[in-house]
Amino acid sequence: MPSAKPLLSQDGADANTPLLPVVEEKRTVGSWSRVTFAESDSDRKGPQHTFAWRRPSSAGFNIGWGLFCIVFLMCVCAAKLVVQNNVSNGASLGEGLLRMPKDDISTLPPVDWANKILLIVVGLPFSGTSALEGLIGTSAAVTDLCAAGTWQCEDSELLTQLGFVTFIDEEDTCAQRWDPEQPTPTQFAYAFTDFALKYWDMSKDLLLDKSPPLLGKHVNIKAAAAMLGVRLKFVVLTRHPFSWSPSKPFNETKYLDRMRHALNALQDPSVESLQVQHMNSCLSSALLEEHLFQFCTTAHR
């Protein structure tokens, strides 16, 4: 039987007077123990001394606690490294975690793309793409991304939240936003599936995604549509190079670069596309509506 020295003596005796109690009962709850001692080995029914819950100070406990702290700190450091790029671009830790790339489409519920058309509306910034989207959206067959609550119903913020593009700002200083290689086809396929599950009304046939930065990404979007098995069409809005305002001055370098992307999409024989000239759309909205209707409903370009 193990022996122990009680913390309190019985009947007011000197606390230093040694007794020879016998363990009567020991119960353990977590890392705390309650121990009851009998007065003697021969009289277990006699006076008992019950001591309060006591936390052990064993070396094993200290080592275990130390290992837990080390593992916890390692996990915190790993999470910080994963989101470091996003945080350095002005995002909070929570935003950085939201932007951790996740492009495994097999982790999402299946989507029925049968008889659907992915309608991508692109153009130069401030050329009227939002107005064009609004016009197309008047059709009862069209669903857009406005349910997501993003600026002008665009997908840039959604792609950022998924971790497929870096943090963007109002000055459009982020080159990756216009990078033709980002997002990748797999990431676009994941994003479109995510949009279908969260924002698009899949009871409608035309799934509208309007965002100017998609202008140079038609190759990756085309590959993503092929992965999903969904039909793809582009509406490309162009404008005259001198159609600008004092608040948005003409930038020749950007204009030429983005028009090059527009021509690549319009001249790609494997892509169904429609060019809408800004000036013509202003002069005759009825004619534009007719062209859009024919383009969206016909089997081929």
Indicate if the pLDDT at residue 219 is higher than 70: yes
At residue 209, φ and ψ (nearest 5 deg) are: -135, 110
Q: In terms of Cα–Cα distance, which of 143, 126, 122 is closest to 276? A: 122
pLDDT on residue 250 = 80
For residue 296 the two structure tokens come to: 């969206």
**pLDDT tens by residue, 85-103:** 444 444 444 444 444 456 7
Question: And the tokens for 281?
Answer: 């759309």
pLDDT value, residue 178: 82
pTM: predicted TM-score of the whole model, two decimal places: 0.64
Burial 276-285 (b: 16+ CB within 10 A, else e): bebeebeeee
Please state, in angstroms and rounded to a whole number, the distance separating the CA atoms of residues 110 and 197.
9
The alpha carbon dihedral of 223, 225, 227, 230 has a sign of negative
Average pLDDT, the chain: 75
Distance between CA atoms of residues 293 and 264, nearest Å = 23
- pLDDT > 80? residue 255: yes
Domain boundaries, the chain: 1-8+17-56, 61-98, 105-297
DSSP label of 263:
H
pLDDT in tens, 8-24: 444 444 445 444 444 44
**β-strands 117-123, 206-210: how paired?**
parallel
φ/ψ of residue 244, rounded to 5: -145, 170
CATH architecture classification, 105-297 = 3-Layer(aba) Sandwich (3.40)
